[in-house]
Structure 1
Amino acid sequence: MRTIVFVAPFLLETTMRFARAAAALPGVRLCGVMQEAPGGTDRQVFADLVRVDDGLSAPELIEAVELLRRRHGPPARIIGVLEPLQVQLAEARAHFGVRGTEVETAEVFRDKAKMKDRLRAAGLPVARHRLVGTAQDAVAFEAEVGFPMVLKPPAGMGAKATFRVGSREELLRAVAGLRASPSNPVLAEEFLHGQEGSCDTLTLAGVPRLTSISYYRPSCLTALENPWIQWCTVLPRRDQGPGYDDIRELGARAVRALGLDAGFTHMEWFRRPDGSLAIGEIAQRPPGAHLTRMIGLAFDMDPYRMWARAVIDDAFDGPWDRAYSVGCAYLRGIGRGRITSVTGVKQAHDAVGRAVVETKLPTPGAPKSDSYEGDGYAIVRDPRTELVEHALETIIAKLRVRYA
């Protein structure tokens, strides 16, 4: 029996899908380290649990794993899916001599400035960037790239805590508001124009074994800046050939350059108006915004088990054919406060309900989410990409979320 330690400060439903997949593998005794114990049937997924006060603390994580080691023997793997946890997981693996992503690799993925330096050194196209600790640093970078530009934390996640600035006044105000200093710099980046999407890979032995390409309508940053927009993600059925092969190659080269051995990666790509590609950033984690679930629907397989097999068994059960196009509409609306109503549900269902495979409607009375993923979602699937795009357009045109 192999002792597998699964670390998750808080067990959200998406996280539990990965935990259940790990626990279901033959010969696995799944032990958890978390801040809050799961309730109901989720508790049965774990053979043992250790609670910590701070789920992102490496010393507390190591102490918890040591307790599990005394109870069940040396762990075979120490795993987790949360992006801000990957460096601490690597430190725990190094402490106990457990196989998996090493500290240096995890740090390069986590520190976006180091990550971009590594990618650029490998000859890969990335946004020009600079760590900004003073107003003078910011003005110097402005002279290099102009406006607009983007400011974000060096260890940010996705589009969260990301700001677009379009003038000297906005730039200096943002640098001050983010409390940038030489010891606590922010990352300034060239703003990339063009189509945006993701290239998500499942890597084993340093080689991407499954690659999934998607595109956004509109971009994540646009959705973040305009909290009323009901935006969409589309996984086209055919993501190989012209317009996709160069993205696939770029993703594989990025994984090699950063040295990942096994696991999921989520890479944001931009295609500029001249057709050239650039990498926004790449994260060492499963894709969010329901993309992992969508990948499973596109290939008609279990993506959570695929991840577990890679990071626990060093195995890959594919390849699978990409039999479907899949899309997701993120539901939200104009206003602030609490959700008062969701209208147009019947009309949308009557029009495209046959293509809908999973929904979570916004809950009346709930406060408006500050996430760009919105207050609910609808996932659609069909072999025809054009039908998926039409279904998404219909959903966001007919559904209206209101707040008060």
Structure 2
Amino acid sequence: MEPLNFIFFSPHFPAYGQEFCHHLNRNGVRVLGIGDTPFDELSGKLQASLTEYYRIADMENDDEVIRAVGYFIHRYGKIDRFESLNEHWLELEARIRTDFNIYGTKLDFIDNLKQKSKMKDYFVRSGVSTVAHLKSSDKTSALQFIDQVGFPIVVKPDLGSGASMTYKISTPREFDSFFSNKPADIPFILEEYIDGIILTCDGLIDRYGHVVFATSHRFEQSIMEVVNTDSHLYYFCLPAIDPEIEEAGRNILKAMDIRERFFHIELFQRRRDNKIIALEVNMRPPGAWMTDAINFTHDMDIYEEWAKMVAHNRTGGPFPGKYFTGYASRKHRLDYRYSHQDIVGTWHAELVKYQEVETVFRRAMGDFAYQFRAGSLDQVREIVAFIHELKV
């Protein structure tokens, strides 16, 4: 039987791409890479995982990508998958799958994954409450929306991921300033501000629409404020997913008819009444070292489970949670009470990873980060407080 032909677009970036390629290769998949980095500069692990690598000069150039795909078809026959597992390439992936009739999300559905306003339609279909919003760049309509929901509000680009160009607007003066200075060519949506924490529903769904693994992360900070204030970040991976969060995630996946993908769904838990409110859905692995957090929390290998799902439509498990895993970053501009040596010396038994963050992710993820696990939420909170304590 011929192996699955899997084109992995940008296998070298982000860095965890090599893990997905390695485990695909381990599961008998023919992994074909397309990237802009010279082959000799790829890690040894990634080089060993790729059957062949096609270097292009410009990752944004569709003609170059199409030529690379055509070359692989000529060499190996039908392409079975084309993936990057990266939000940035969602539309390009869909175009390639559509043009070459490759399994997976096609162009006719991609706007539902890219546009926040269209995501909310699926939240409504799923029966999960969502954030009140307005898709409009018209100032009059925006004022009417504020009359309904009040200040503060959140404004964000309708297209895009993360917290880039996302702002909390608390006063009429800030509102006027935003409308006077916003880029004319970028559609924005306005959202009611929710005072709450973010709980995620993360995991794997197979090609038949069955959720084969689910877990959850807890964010007690606003990522928007972390980015806008250039502050440090922390979050926790939880050993057990809240049943209400898991039910909401499953209902959203069913409404969107998602198949054979990672999923990363963000939901608010409103502080005043604990109500669950859907915020955003991403059909990719969670970022910010969260795949590693899953592994440390559940004593599993999520890269291997994803690869087995793609290659054989099966996974192992179950993988019960055993630990709380924390992430805490630092900013070089801040003056911390405890040194790196203090952190390693005090928490060496709990630390599982620490290193510089890739430059492009530093605004949100921090300049240097620590990952650690413990048996209780109180203990990982204590470690976060130790890492983040500033000099007086």
1:267 aligns with 2:259: no
Partner of 2:37: 36
- Displacement after TM superposition at 1:354 (Å): 0.9
Where do 1:1-400 residues align within 5 Å?
Answer: 1-8=3-10, 11-26=13-28, 28-38=29-39, 39-40=41-42, 41=44, 42-180=46-184, 184-204=186-206, 205-228=208-231, 230-239=232-241, 244-272=242-270, 273-332=272-331, 334=333, 344-361=339-356, 370-397=362-389
> Quick one: distance in 1 between partners of 2:6 and 2:359?
37
- Displacement after TM superposition at 1:260 (Å): 0.8
CA contact (8 A) 1:32 1:50 kept: yes
Deviation track 1:57-108 (CA, whole Å, cap 9, x = no partner) reads 5554333211110112111211221112123212222222222233334321
- Displacement after TM superposition at 1:368 (Å): 10
Which amino acid in structure 1 is aligned with residue 321 of structure 2? Answer: R
Task: Provide TM-score, normalisation by structure 2.
Answer: 0.89
Which amino acid in structure 2 is aligned with residue 238 of structure 1? Answer: A
CA contact (8 A) 2:327 2:372 kept: yes
Deviation track 1:120-166 (CA, whole Å, cap 9, x = no partner) reads 23322111112222333332332232211111111221222211111
CA contact (8 A) 2:261 2:283 kept: yes
- Displacement after TM superposition at 1:281 (Å): 0.6
Paired residue secondary structure (1:354): coil
Q: 1:368 to 1:297 in 2, by over 3 A?
A: closer
CA contact (8 A) 2:338 2:387 kept: no
Which amino acid in structure 2 is aligned with residue 128 of structure 1? Answer: A
Deviation track 1:253-286 (CA, whole Å, cap 9, x = no partner) reads 1111122111111111111111211011111110
Gaps of 5+ in 2: none
Which amino acid in structure 2 is aligned with residue 188 of structure 1? Answer: L
Paired residue secondary structure (2:310): helix
Paired residue secondary structure (2:161): coil
Give the aligned length.
Answer: 384
Stretch moving more, 282-291 or 349-358: 349-358
> Quick one: distance in 1 between partners of 2:49 and 2:180?
46
> Quick one: distance in 2 between partners of 1:227 and 1:369?
12
- Displacement after TM superposition at 1:369 (Å): 6.9
Aligned identity (percent) is 23
> Quick one: distance in 1 between partners of 2:359 and 2:261?
35
Gaps of 5+ in 1: none
- Displacement after TM superposition at 1:119 (Å): 1.4
CA contact (8 A) 1:9 1:35 kept: no
> Quick one: distance in 2 between partners of 1:137 and 1:291?
38
Q: 1:157 to 1:320 in 2, by over 3 A?
A: same
Stretch moving more, 322-331 or 305-314: 305-314
Paired residue secondary structure (1:214): strand
Deviation track 1:36-69 (CA, whole Å, cap 9, x = no partner) reads 2341523333222223344245554333211110
Paired residue secondary structure (1:49): strand
